[in-house]
Amino acid sequence: MANKMDVSSWGSSISPHEIQILPDGVQYLIWKSYNSTFVMKELILSQKFIWENPSDNLIDLCMDVGTIQQGYHDLEDMIEDHNMWCFHDCIKSKCANCVCYGFPCGNLAIHGFHNMKIADLWKPNFEIGVA
C-alpha cells in the first residue's frame, strides 16, 4: 500500500489522514480507482511508438522479407480510433496499392499513421496471419 495519496484532484473532501484510517481493502480500492483514472490515462497518452518517427537506420534494418508479420504486429495501435477505417480497408480488402507498392500504402500512411516516411516499406502477404 502506498502511504500517501494525493486525492485533491478528485475534488473530494477526503484528506490523506482519513484514507489511512480506512481498512486496507478499502484503501486498495481507492488507490486502484485513482491509479486507473488518472495515472494510467496519463501514461497511455504520453506513450510514443518507435514508428512515429523512425530513423533511416531502423527503416533500412526492417526492409527485409519477414521483418513484419501480418497479424502479429502492433502498428494499428498507432492509428487513432477515428482513422481505423484506413487500416481495416487495407487489410480486409487486400488493398491493391499495398500489393503493388508495399504496406502500408500511401493512403494508409497519410490517413492512418500521418507519416509518409513509413509508406511502402513491406511486401504484404494477405493470405496468412490476417484475422
Residues 88, 106, 75, 83: is their CA dihedral positive or negative? negative
C-alpha cell at 11: 475534488
C-alpha cell at 13: 473532501
C-alpha distances (whole Å) from 18 to each of 13, 39, 125 are 10, 22, 59
C-alpha cell at 63: 526492409
> Which ranges of the chain have pLDDT less than 50?
1-3, 130-131
- pTM across the whole model: 0.54
Please report the pLDDT score of residue 1 as a whole number.
Answer: 43
Please report the pLDDT score of residue 128 as a whole number.
Answer: 59
Query: Across the strands, what pairs with 122?
Result: 103
> Could you give the CA distance from residue 70 to residue 54 in angstroms, rounded to a whole number?
19
Domain ranges within the chain, ordered by starting residue: 8-45, 56-118
